[in-house]
Structure 1
Amino acid sequence: MPGRVLAGFAVTLGAAFVLAPAPLAAIRPGGGFTDQGHLAGSLRAAFAEYWQSGSGVFSPSMRNVVDYWLRYHLVKAVTAALLFAVLVVLGVRLWKAFALGARLGVGRRATLASAGVVVTMVALFSLALVMANVQGSVTPFASLLPMLVDGPGSGEAAGTLEQVRQQLAGGGQPSPALQVMIDDFARYHLAMAVIAAIVAAGLTAFSVLLWKRFAGTARTERRTRRVLASFGVVAALLPLLVGLISAANTTIVIDPAPALLAFFQGGW
């Protein structure tokens, strides 16, 4: 497949990542929201109703918002994964062309290298988007909580959030609704801990593969060796960063209530 076609696919998928989730998530009757403000307002009203019910079972309005957010993140996760795959293929082609382009002019080689760097960076960003949206798909309720904290600081919504803070700070037996929040908050971070661990393992394996290719490449192929070595170093360092993300999320899983309180107090 020509590189221009791959680039076109990448641009299309990038646009789809931004534009497609909301309408596709609203495919169910009554399951959509006109914009982010409408979603946030509906969430705050639904959460107040859910909290005041004293039950751990979502009210119909709360279930509607959570189900929408699940579909929203699923669409984003699939789109980001497709974008990542296309960018990987495109990046490999660009770097191969650069490595094998000894007879190309300086300008052409510089263009290939620049394009390769840009595609690589965007591919890494799209991988982060895959991770975040898979996490949101696993725990859509917990991923909605930032909208509550960022909402208006007055009225029923503010009173509900203050009750949540008081219960968390009290340290006593949580209400059924709060227990659901604590459990889902723990799953939210467990999901990222597992996702990050898988990505770290994959990057480590990729680094080993690159260094094996580097060792098996003739010394006369200097440009190829430089490309392999550069990616080998990056692929060896990234698992350290991703591993730290996994470890940080694991510590929250062990004791989620204090972290949830810090979140509602604006400590995150």
Structure 2
Amino acid sequence: MLVALVVALVPAFVFAPGPLAASMSGGGFGDQRAVIDSLSKSFVDYWSSGDRTLSPGLARLVDYWRDYHVVKAVIAATLLAVLTTLGVLLWKAFLRAAGLGTGGRAALASAGIVVTALALLSLAAVAANVQGAIAPFSSLLSMLPMHASHGELADTLDQVRQRLADYPDSGDRTPPAIEVMVSDFSRYHAVIAVAATTVAAVLVGMSVVSWKRFARTGASGRRTRRVFRSFGLLWAVLSSAVIVVAVANLVTTVDSAPALLGFFEGGW
């Protein structure tokens, strides 16, 4: 049953969010090309308006993008729960597989490794889509054709870059749209900073538990010791990497304008 759920959820994560989000937002965004075209025009209109409030077309797009990430986050979280349960069952079966031959134990271990890796990918997908759901405007901006060479969009992007290069020293001349984008970009990275900090704390706890189980297992339980030693090392290494991600995003949260300028210059 768990394997069947995984088989169903993986393609659902890829194909279901677009149609579901489009139906929730009233349609009109059937594919990526339609989103990009609509965003290009709506972003130019928003910049030209001189208002803080998103233009109607851009607001509708942002709503769609938020719903898109909400659907993806729900599917990814469900997939994470299923893979976690399946992984626990596989590793327990491996530890109790004294009666199986070498081939059977190798199959269980291989399956456990694959499921663990997929669970980690699902966790990353949950975090990324929660980020997109909480700060959909910044997430949506990643769809802008930043290297447009001519037309209204190219002119608008040049103006945005110039204003960001001066921010915050431009004083009263700072367009409201710049303030909105900087604020949302800060929130965008704050979400990952909080999520990464939480995940790092959980991974550190799991590493500690794994090492304790390793220490409590006698020398006769060599397979059990190997499993818990491997997980202890894995969780420790992953927690270190996640802490680096948390710190990097915290720094960007505090001073997001330079990172946003780099984004508009094609650096992300």
TM bucket normalised to smaller: over 0.9
Deviation at 1:151, TM superposition (A): 6.3
Give the Cα–Cα distance (whole angstroms) in 1 for the partners of residues 146 and 127 of structure 2.
23
Equivalent of residue 48 in structure 2, options 40, 48, 52? 52
> Closer, same or farther in 2 for the Cα pair 1:149/1:244, shift >3 Å?
farther
Tell me the amino acid that sits aligned with residue 5 of structure 2.
F
> Closer, same or farther in 2 for the Cα pair 1:90/1:32, shift >3 Å?
farther
- Which residue in the other structure is 1:184 paired with? 184
Give the Cα–Cα distance (whole angstroms) in 2 for the partners of residues 150 and 79 of structure 1.
30
- SS for the counterpart of 2:144 is helix
- Which residue in the other structure is 2:259 paired with? 259
> Structure 1 residue 166 and structure 2 residue 162: aligned?
yes
On the 8 A contact 1:31/1:64 being kept in 2, the answer is: no
> Structure 1 residue 243 and structure 2 residue 239: aligned?
no
1:1-268 matches, cutoff 5 A = 5-28=1-24, 30-150=26-146, 152-171=148-167, 172-173=170-171, 174-268=174-268
The CA deviation string for residues 204-238 of structure 1, in whole angstroms up to 9 with x for no partner, is: 11112222222233332211121111111101111
- SS for the counterpart of 1:148 is coil
On the 8 A contact 1:200/1:242 being kept in 2, the answer is: yes
Give the Cα–Cα distance (whole angstroms) in 2 for the partners of residues 162 and 146 of structure 1.
16
Give the Cα–Cα distance (whole angstroms) in 1 for the partners of residues 28 and 235 of structure 2.
40
> Closer, same or farther in 2 for the Cα pair 1:83/1:28, shift >3 Å?
closer
On the 8 A contact 2:19/2:30 being kept in 1, the answer is: no
RMSD of Structure 2 on Structure 1 (CA): 1.4
> Closer, same or farther in 2 for the Cα pair 1:150/1:8, shift >3 Å?
farther
- SS for the counterpart of 1:27 is helix
Tell me the amino acid that sits aligned with residue 156 of structure 2.
T
On the 8 A contact 1:21/1:72 being kept in 2, the answer is: yes
> Closer, same or farther in 2 for the Cα pair 1:91/1:32, shift >3 Å?
farther
Q: Which is worse superposed, 122-131 or 92-101? A: 92-101
Tell me the amino acid that sits aligned with residue 130 of structure 1.
V
Deviation at 1:32, TM superposition (A): 4.1
The CA deviation string for residues 52-81 of structure 1, in whole angstroms up to 9 with x for no partner, is: 000010111111000000000001111111
On the 8 A contact 1:40/1:151 being kept in 2, the answer is: no
TM-score, normalising length: structure 1: 0.94
On the 8 A contact 2:70/2:129 being kept in 1, the answer is: yes
Aligned residues: 264
> Closer, same or farther in 2 for the Cα pair 1:193/1:108, shift >3 Å?
same
Give the Cα–Cα distance (whole angstroms) in 1 for the partners of residues 6 and 16 of structure 2.
15
On the 8 A contact 1:25/1:32 being kept in 2, the answer is: no
Deviation at 1:18, TM superposition (A): 0.5
Q: Which is worse superposed, 204-213 or 70-79? A: 204-213
Tell me the amino acid that sits aligned with residue 255 of structure 1.
D
> Closer, same or farther in 2 for the Cα pair 1:133/1:29, shift >3 Å?
closer
On the 8 A contact 2:22/2:30 being kept in 1, the answer is: no
On the 8 A contact 2:47/2:156 being kept in 1, the answer is: yes
TM-score, normalising length: structure 2: 0.94
On the 8 A contact 1:100/1:224 being kept in 2, the answer is: no
Deviation at 1:248, TM superposition (A): 0.4
Q: Which is worse superposed, 73-82 or 109-118? A: 109-118
